[in-house]
Amino acid sequence: MGRRMLVAGNWKMYTTSGEGAILVQDLADELSDLDGEVEVVVGPPFTGLKAVSTVIELDHLEIGLAAQDCHWEAEGAFTGAIAPRMLLDLHVDYVIVGHSERREYFGETDETVNRKVKAVFEAGMVPIMCVGETLVTREALETDPYVRGQVTAGAAGLTPEQAERLVIAYEPIWAIGTGRMPTPESANDVARMIRATIGAMYGPPVAVKMRILYGGSVKPENAKMFFSEPDVDGGLVGGAALKADSFAGIVRAAH
């Protein structure tokens, strides 16, 4: 199928810029024997992007850079917000959009997620759009319609070229930071449904190229199980991305 595996670290609200610079260097050291078959991305907080980007460039590291959010407008009177082109200026490759923590604590909706997805593409970067259900939704057996709704709304209005480059991260909210996880088969079922949804919107050839990540308590010990599933093309990693050796273990599991 030819989809390149992608393992991305979401550092959330951890690491100063100095700590981030050390972490990315340590990670590069851990991964130095690998051949680049798997795409590796780190996602520091805004304040760490410049330092991490500088280390990546000076040391010619094969590591991509993600921001964790952005505004949908190109500029304006939006105190405290960061525009997509400010991220591009720091050599950011990916922007995480619609993480469940942003939806829960910062009022992100499917509509704002969609505006951000489009803005990230327009600025020349690639969104990693997060979707996923709560435990209540899962127990009510409503995961599929709920996640399908998030995908349909969040990925609306793209060109086919954009849609095939979009990365969707399926992160069941109840699995984030909890040590609880769906079975790999169940994660794959949702990933397949997400791919079918994109297929219905943009056509099967687009859906076949689009990458879908699993996120939620991914660790070196369990990563291979998820990455072996046919519709899971890598992972979005939180806690385990904050230590170079554990994140490297997850990257190895993707090989």
Residues contributing to the site for ligand 13P (CB under 6 A): 10, 99, 171, 176-177, 215-218, 236-240
Q: Which residue among 99, 108, 133, 164 is the active-site one?
A: 99
Q: How far is the CB of 156 from ligand 13P (least distance, A)?
A: 23
SS3 content of the chain, % helix, strand, coil (to 5): 45, 15, 40
Our answer to whether residue 255 is catalytic in this structure is no
Spatial distance between the Cα atoms of 234 and 24, rounded to a whole number of angstroms: 19
Shorter beta-carbon distance to ligand 13P: residue 125 or 206: 125
Shorter beta-carbon distance to ligand 13P: residue 127 or 239: 239
Q: How far is the CB of 237 from ligand 13P (least distance, A)?
A: 5
Q: How far is the CB of 214 from ligand 13P (least distance, A)?
A: 10
Shorter beta-carbon distance to ligand 13P: residue 38 or 206: 38
Write the DSSP string, 132-150: ---HHHHHTT-HHHHHHHH
- Return the amino acid letter for 87: L
Spatial distance between the Cα atoms of 140 and 137, rounded to a whole number of angstroms: 5
Shorter beta-carbon distance to ligand 13P: residue 124 or 177: 177
Q: How far is the CB of 96 from ligand 13P (least distance, A)?
A: 7
Spatial distance between the Cα atoms of 48 and 30, rounded to a whole number of angstroms: 20
Query: From residue 106, how far is each of 40, 45, 98, 101, 154 by CA, in Å?
Result: 28, 16, 10, 7, 17
Structure tokens at 197: 């949804």
Q: How far is the CB of 218 from ligand 13P (least distance, A)?
A: 5
Our answer to whether residue 99 is catalytic in this structure is yes
Find the helix or strand (DSSP H, E) in which 127 lies.
strand 126-131
Q: Which residue among 101, 108, 164, 171 is the active-site one?
A: 171
Cβ atoms within 10 Å, residue 249: 17
Q: Residue 237's closest CA among 225, 220, 229?
A: 220
Shorter beta-carbon distance to ligand 13P: residue 129 or 163: 129
Active-site residue numbers?
A: 99, 171
